[in-house]
Amino acid sequence: MDKLLIEGGVPLSGEVAVSGAKNAALPILCASLLAGEPLALSNVPHLNDIATMLRLLGQMGVAVTMDGADGIVLDSGGLNNPVAPYDMVKTMRASILVLGPLLARCGEAKVSLPGGCAIGARPVDQHIKGLQAMGAEISVENGYVHAKATRLKGARIVTDMVTVTGTENLMMAAVLADGETVIENAAREPEVVDLANCLVAMGAQISGAGTDTIRIRGVERLHGGAHAVMPDRIETGTYLCAAAATGGNIRLVRTSAAYLDSVVDKLLDAGCDVTVERDAITLKAPPRLKAVSLRTAPYPAFPTDMQAQFMAINCVAEGAAVVRETIFENRFMHAVELIRLGADIKIDGNTALVTGVEQLNGATVMATDLRASASLVIAGLAAQGETLIERIYHLDRGYERIEEKLARLGARVRRVR
């Protein structure tokens, strides 16, 4: 199993390009199931989760063709097996996103309940409730969701909680339904908007994406199309935090601050100098950061996927910060590993008190989930001495060639096989 060896204490500097967004690419790959014609995608990141999704689509009968460095063409004209088996989806929660498209296109679907990061309960009941409101017959047996519908019907759906994958699944199901579907309390994340833009390019009729009420007028069929996946805002934020923690000065290209207001605001509060261009962001860190408190909440508030990275920079900041996690109940597992590096962190339920220390020191630590892995990388880059991060397969699920990009910014980092 691969590990990452970091010799810390080097300020990051230079320029690196941000990859396409994993959390946008995964639902957009599933959208290819809705049409019998090719969907050409660009800016698709090379990640383990993407490879898993492509294998899943391939066993359903979707023809997958690589097109250049970051392009993929998906043709589901031969779709013949609307099943997502457990052995293919056990490591990736996003696999549930095939449920809506398969049901809408094929009239049936058999999808294993998914796995993914161990960061708390992420139930699929909102997906099931919404599809049932659209007329689907659904049962859960032996760990599989069995769904059937001759043709889904438009409905008014009010989700009990804001759910990104739930919003995306229901939106994809509704584009081929009979009549209008209204999703209330919808997720507003930019990745939801990116999926809607792709579906519209395929002939869907969608309005309100990016607000809490999305309206979808069902059509008889979708056609092929082309779409460029948005840049990854979480990868962008992660590299900005790495530069901040190491006292660095970096420029990120092929990205945008348009979806990062809450993150940029916190970096400014920490004392960083941030310059925003149309498709680039530059960050220059102060001699020492100031501690910044934060509370996670659904977009456009501070993202839960950036909580661990900011905990890492607070570990070396001046002062104390309170970090409150309101989305997932088990998302402080990285705190124990940061303490191994010398961090001063006290946990009380969903709240962490982080008091900055003058210096972290390298140690062997273990990654527990995707974003926890990123926090350990940031802490390792800021620490003195060597940090060895074990179980970095989590990193490979969400960060494309992270050791290469960090090395380009001057980090002393290498993969140990």
Q: How far is CA 339 from CA 9, 54, 286, in A?
A: 18, 38, 24
Q: Considering only CA atoms, which of 23, 16, 11 is closest in space to residue 229?
A: 23
Handedness of CA 51, 53, 58, 63 (dihedral sign): negative
- Report how far residue 262's alpha carbon sits from residue 310's, in angstroms, rounded to the nearest whole number: 12
Work out whether strand 13-17 and strand 249-253 pair parallel, antiparallel, or are unpaired.
parallel
> Which one, of 331, 374, 358, 82, lies nearest residue 235 by Cα?
374
Please name the residues in contact with 72: beta carbons below 8 A apart, sequence gap of 6 or more. Answer: 29, 40, 41, 44, 54, 64, 65, 66
What DSSP state is assigned to residue 56? H
Q: Distance (Å, rounded) from C-alpha 309 to C-alpha 373?
A: 9
CA distances 3 to 234, 279, 331, 361, 394, Å, are: 22, 33, 22, 18, 11
Instruction: Give the distance from CA 154 to its chain's centroid.
Output: 29
Q: Which residues pair with 70 in a beta bridge?
A: none
With vertex at residue 63, the alpha carbon angle to CA 61 and CA 65, rounded to the nearest 5 degrees, is: 160
As annotated, the active-site residues are: 117
Q: Give the residue carrying structure tokens 């390792």.
A: 380
CA separation (Å) from 136 to 133, 139, 145, 204? 7, 10, 12, 20
DSSP string, 343-369: -EEEEETTEEEEE--S--B--EEE--S
